[in-house]
Structure 1
Amino acid sequence: AKKRASDFGKTKEEVSKNVLENCIDVRLFGGTIPLNKDSVTFTGPVQFNLGRSLHKVDLKRIKGTGAFASGEGKANKTFREEYILSYSLVGFYGIINENAAKITNLTQGDINLLIEGMWNGTKNLISRSKVGQLPRLLIKVNYKEENYHIGGLLKKISLNKNVDDEAIRSPKNYTVNINDLVKVLDKNKDKILNIEYKIDEEIALELDGKEIDIKDAIKNIDIKELEI
């Protein structure tokens, strides 16, 4: 059932406390709860960039019709058009801000659920527009130095392709080049606590022109597979 702000308490303090205790989405991503003469606002510790394709894509526009019944013996037909991608390897980059996390009472359990949702939710989000969507590679860098992150890690990977960009249809058409990623991680290893990862078996990583296991690639930093 949907909840109103008044369901969480009568005062701003009560609403703030109860919302954070009961709403994992607010603890993760923040939110604004309007009150009668005020509001409660939390900045989310977790922030993601907009996803972008790591290669040029084959973008197609298709047209179709849709029919929706508006009553017995009646039908309304509409024309629609939409864009589809034959294939795209989409990359995302995000951070978890430890300062905002303290304010929203973000827990390690919340973070574990977020990671699980990112991996399992991607492949289980089945709809007409997302059928066949799969998670391929997830890397989580945990820092031991406060208020620090490298930033821009998505720009440190690229694809080595055996076909033209627009002709890519599966991971068989490319390897993921992690040369620059390994370099920047190694450069900052004194500030990194450890690295966690999850990789799909179809994805091949390449370092210095050779396919390589991620543990062998990032060998100077404690690295372990995520238990998802």
Structure 2
Amino acid sequence: MQHHPVTVVTGGSRGIGAAVSARLAEDGHDVVIGYRSNAGAAEEAAAAVRAAGRRCVTVEVDTADETDVDRLFDAAAGLGPVTGLVNNAGVSGPVGTLADADAEGMRRALEVNVLGYLLCARRAVRDMKANGGGAIVNVSSAAATLGAPGEYVHYAAAKGAVDTMTVGLSKEVAGDGIRVNAVAPGVIWTEFHADPERPAKLAAGIPLGRSGQPSEIAAAVAWLLSDEASYATGTVLRVAGGR
């Protein structure tokens, strides 16, 4: 019996995560969508996966909670050996200057954006070692190098941590047949922004003259998970329109 790739996508119900889930289904992956609270959106994303002829399960999960993470991957194992993880679940936390940011909002953002990625990667590595290898793609951000001044310096700092984790973990697990890469999106048209018009307002400052589409990030993620990227590990692929 032929096994299809089984890939876990956290934050898979909306925006970049939903686009990634749909694209992976087109590429032959069975998909496990982790979502935080919007069951309706998760089911819509799952329907897109199934429309492409692939299997999909949705799991409500707080990625910063290791018990939830284990439940997510246990559910994924029901589809077969987990071969891929897309670490995508994230929150911006407070928007504004660091001087005005509340500590609890920053703490939650760091928990989801850093600890959540680490916990999901930890479990994925454990499973992939047992299953003969796999690939992890961390969704970072161009903010990691731009710093996001006046918007969310703490979020940029968290994404800097994601880039470092990508490099370190890639070296740690290369011998186990596991590749670890990241995609760093620029400004993308999603519901992530506190101001829905932010992608339009920032377009003039982007060399390509526009903000990006979720499908453009999904294509990069799909490539890094594919066999075509077999010699790529420890890389942060920037997809940011030139920023």
TM-score w.r.t. the length of structure 2 is: 0.27
Q: Which has the higher strand share?
A: 1
Q: Which has the higher helix share?
A: 2
TM-score w.r.t. the length of structure 1 is: 0.29
Higher relative contact order at CA 8 Å, sep ≥6: structure 1 or structure 2? 2
